[in-house]
Structure 1
Amino acid sequence: MSDFPSSTQPRRAPRWLGWGLVLLVVLVAAFYFWPSSKAPSGPFGAPGFGGPMAVPVRVAPVEAGTVDVVFKAVGTVAAYNTVVVRPRVDGQLIAVRFQDGQKVEQDDVLAVIDPRPFQAQLDEALGQQLQNRAQLENARSDLKRYELLFKQNSLAKQQLDAQVALLRQYEGRQKSDQAAVDQAKLQLQYTEVRAPLSGRVGLRRVDQGNLVNSSNEEGLVVITQNQPISATFSLPQSQVSVVLSEMRNGRELAVHLYGADDRQPLAEGVLESADNQIDVATGTLRFKARFKNEDESLLPNQFVNVRLLARQGIEALTIPAIAMQQGSRGSFVYLVEEGKVKVQVVTPGISDGDRIAIEQGLQPGQSVVVEGVDRLREGASVQVVSEGQEAAAPQGPARR
């Protein structure tokens, strides 16, 4: 056997090559997973080296201005008037003169009930009235003759008194006859079912040819008055005193309605009335507002978001409402000073929904964070971005 090593045995790789591969893997991982270039640069120009990352935020100034007192609530739209149209006489429905959903005016004929039985009753009442009228006229003529004979001492006083009583009896019967005629005429008029108010009819509940009666609770159709229309809502008793005070002073309070997203405006109206007692179960008071609803965009039983403008133009320091935060110490904002944020406890006041008044804790000209608060803490470094930039938490590049 030869003393020289065989040429077929594998050679060991140099140790430096293994460490080089490990270093290469570390560098590649650092390149892919290191935070983005939004972080402040370190001494070597590489992102992230040399200190913590600054959080991009958008700020708004603390301004001296005016704010409105706006109360929010959830309300329900209600027809200003709702009427169930019922027939006032019984009979067969021979005509329906409206279309489902049609807009009608007051006194429009909606349906017709067979008038022939009621016309016969009127004719009978008129005939009876004529008979009794003839008897009345005959009694009056007899009374004149009796009075003449009594003056001539040719008639007893008893007969004269009897004739006077008979005349009064016929006069009373004549009034009863006239009442019967008027009642028959009224019943005949009721065979034409008329709209009691202007509005929009719903779906008819009885078809032509059916027998109808006044005791039917469903009626023929429902008419809702949607122009104007109303909305009812409730406010907590802590807000009631402000609203009632303004109403007693004769001020007309504006009420705005918004859609389900609380962004799309639906209508603008005025506060009309308040209930006379607070609901003990909820501690709220009901209010009613009126809206013209010219385009009929509001429908009865529609749920809406209500904003009641109780007071206007109150001077105060204001900030955007989105800057207000809530924590264990109460209300606070993130105050930006020299590139860092400070947790500033404040005392909020009234709000109009978009801006909120600050009673204590801030001074005019200071800046508060309105976007990018998710990753903030006391003393955190921030980078104020302009309106066109995105105030979001920094993220590293996507993995490949």
Structure 2
Amino acid sequence: MTAFSTQQVQAGYTPGIPQNSAVPPIYQTAAYEFASLADAADLFALRRAGNLYSRNASPTQQVLEERVAALEGGASAVAVASGQAAVAVTLMALAGRGGHIVSASQLYGGTVDLFQDTFDDFGIPVTFVDQDDADAWRAAIRPDTRALFAESVANPIAQVLDFRLVADIAHEAGVPLVIDNTVGTPYLIRPGEHGADFVVHSATKFLSGHGTSLGGVVVDQGSFDFGAQPERWPQFTAPYPRFGELVLWERFGIGQAFAALVKSKYVHDLGPSLSPFNAWQILQGIETLDLRVSRQSATALALAEHLAAHPKVAAVHHPGLEGNRWHALAERYLPRGAPSVFSIDLRGAEDAEAQARIARVVDSLEVFRLVANIGDARSLVSHPASMTHSHLNAEQRAAAGISWNTIRLSAGLEDSADLIAALDRALARL
């Protein structure tokens, strides 16, 4: 008879037995049992695909990866612990040793921190340009440039990128375009259809939609051919030292080699792993993505139209409004509607009293939650200059269209009349 201590560890479960769950299950395990030593050796050498260790991936995560790749019309995807991690591993994999990145200056503040501080520590220089200036993009590209980066709809001023313009500039230079589509969402815009080669998401936001779980995803559209100029991309086209003579481009090919590199090197070595539970939580959110985003988009436009006529509001930065600078691009690229994240500038001088004045409005705002997040089912508010973009200097904030009087809103699923009433009550304190 098997001893008690053996039974308490192993009874009731045989690895590898399939179940018939109607929804993706949570594979909450750190490791996987191999059929034999030869089987293990093949997996570790990348000679065969399969479950290796949950730092690299889990079956629940793989469902998430396939689902987001499908939504973005891509070839493969890698899910990691956060959107910040997704941006980091994507550009590190593309930059390789000493590669240079050109980025739009209109970005989420945390991405700017990554680019100008940590990437600088890693020896990856980043040049920032105005995303609307085609000449600036071209002038910033150098022989060692390895990617162009921008947000589909910039956080927090909601500038809409001219995807095709920037994609053509990237491809003329022989480098891929990487787009952060967190705000845009694959329901409103699929950047791959307009020339993007890699699409990044903070899955914490709209993909999840419930504000409970961090996660990030990068999708390889399968459109960029690293083999066309192999000398520029040795990380894909030369032997991979830790795997002997293995060449990723030969073994995996277009649309798959990038994911193999990211998982086997950057996720494996740095450890930004997505937990199976968070992957499962994000999958639950994705099931209602179109319903939520369409509702939130309509609500945000209603708020923007109301605020545009409010005497206490100096400007409304929403591309759905006809007078907005990016309205034509929104009509071209966002036929299903503009995203639900936008900003307003309150009236008043940027003087010593500005902080107290803005605080009166933000702190008295009901229904909206003061949160450093977007894309939640709840409506959210933040003050970029003192929160998400507080590390930027005055020049950088100005380049991103942010002033001390700027307030960011993220419309949720509440009744729009309640949100408008709450805004009116708060603005009355200005």
What range is the shorter-chain TM-score in? under 0.3
Higher share of residues assigned helix: 2
| Higher RCO, 1 vs 2 (CA within 8 Å, ≥6 residues apart) | 1
TM-score after normalising by structure 2: 0.22
Report which of the two structures shows the higher radius of gyration computed on alpha carbons. Answer: 1
TM-score after normalising by structure 1: 0.23
Higher share of residues assigned strand: 1
